């Protein structure tokens, strides 16, 4: 049986920090969700989702059950204190080894944070709404460390050539930060191609996080490896996971 697809984060984190993103390969889901769907909120067969999550945990030797969130495109950040409730939030942080943080995406940008000594860990779900509202800034604040001591990794998201948005999306960023206009390119339809990666990098830099690594993939065009909600509205979800090994 094919092992669950896993893309290890390529960044300068301490060796004790593990992070990365799943692909859509190596699971048991069928149809529109084929095959490693990890989202339990997308009308996939619950038994298939449970099997996919179990297969991933085994393949990665996870030290604990991932801390799944109910993501709502907001700015709430929660602390993983060892419990496994399902909080409504779009980011989480942890300060103890063995606590696995998790974000589900299928076009939105997953962002992982760690401190240079590996003692602090965070993950954030950053679609355009979350980015504009300040989810990255909220996560940085919750980590309670000097931003210069933080590292960030940006996982797979929809690329600028595939992410067409209306003027209201551009206005949400440019109205608060005029130079962010550089992340938007007007297209022939009078709409805008938005670069989530550039928007996130700018936000991180403005808030003092200077060590930023990025996958710069495109979930929309890479049909073999990734789910994309914009490509197919009925689809699965990848998971970005991060934890500190004891």
Beta bridge partners of 67: 101
For 244, the 3-state DSSP assignment is strand
Do the beta carbons of residue 42 and residue 215 sit within 8 Å?
no
Residue 68, in any domain of the structure: yes
- The contacts of residue 1 (CB under 8 Å, 6+ apart) are 26
Residue 106, in any domain of the structure: yes
pLDDT tens for 6-38 read 999 999 999 999 999 999 999 999 999 999 999
- Whether the per-residue pLDDT at 1 is higher than 80: the answer is no
For 213, the 3-state DSSP assignment is strand
Q: How many domains does the chain have?
A: 1
Beta bridge partners of 103: 240
What phi, psi does 10 have (nearest 5°)? -105, 90
Residue 1, in any domain of the structure: no
- CA distances to 78, 80, 115, 223, 243 from 94, in Å: 9, 5, 11, 33, 8
Residue 167, in any domain of the structure: yes
Residue 11, in any domain of the structure: yes
Residue 204, in any domain of the structure: yes
Residue 246, in any domain of the structure: no
Residue 82, in any domain of the structure: yes
What phi, psi does 84 have (nearest 5°)? -130, 40
Q: Which domain holds residue 165?
A: 6-241
> Does the pTM of the predicted model rise above 0.95?
yes
CATH number for the domain that contains residue 149: 3.60.140.10
Do the beta carbons of residue 56 and residue 36 sit within 8 Å?
yes
pLDDT tens for 42-83 read 999 999 999 999 999 999 999 999 999 999 999 999 999 998
pLDDT tens for 84-113 read 889 999 999 999 999 999 999 999 999 999
């Amino acid at each position: 049986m094919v092992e669950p697809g896993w893309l290890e984060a390529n960044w300068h984190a301490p060796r004790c920090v593990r992070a990365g993103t799943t692909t859509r390969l190596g699971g048991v889901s069928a149809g529109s969700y084929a095959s490693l769907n990890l989202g339990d909120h997308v009308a996939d067969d619950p038994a298939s989702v449970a099997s996919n999550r179990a297969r991933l945990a085994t393949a990665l030797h996870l030290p604990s059950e991932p801390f799944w969130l109910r993501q709502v495109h907001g700015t709430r950040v929660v602390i993983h204190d060892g419990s496994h409730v399902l909080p409504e939030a779009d980011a989480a942080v942890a300060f103890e080894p063995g606590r696995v943080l998790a974000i589900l995406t299928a076009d939105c940008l997953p962002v992982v944070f760690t401190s240079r000594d590996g003692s602090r860990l965070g993950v954030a779900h950053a679609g355009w709404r979350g980015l504009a509202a300040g989810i990255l800034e909220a996560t940085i604040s919750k980590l309670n460390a000097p931003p210069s001591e933080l590292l960030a990794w940006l996982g797979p998201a929809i690329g600028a050539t595939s992410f067409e948005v209306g003027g209201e999306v551009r206005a949400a960023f440019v109205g608060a930060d005029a130079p962010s206009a550089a992340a938007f390119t007007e297209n022939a339809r009078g709409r805008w191609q938005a670069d989530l990666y550039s928007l996130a990098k700018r936000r991180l830099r403005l808030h003092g996080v200077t060590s930023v690594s990025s996958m710069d993939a495109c979930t929309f065009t890479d049909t073999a490896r990734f789910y994309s909600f914009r490509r197919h509205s009925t689809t699965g979800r990848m998971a970005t996971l991060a934890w500190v090994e004891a």
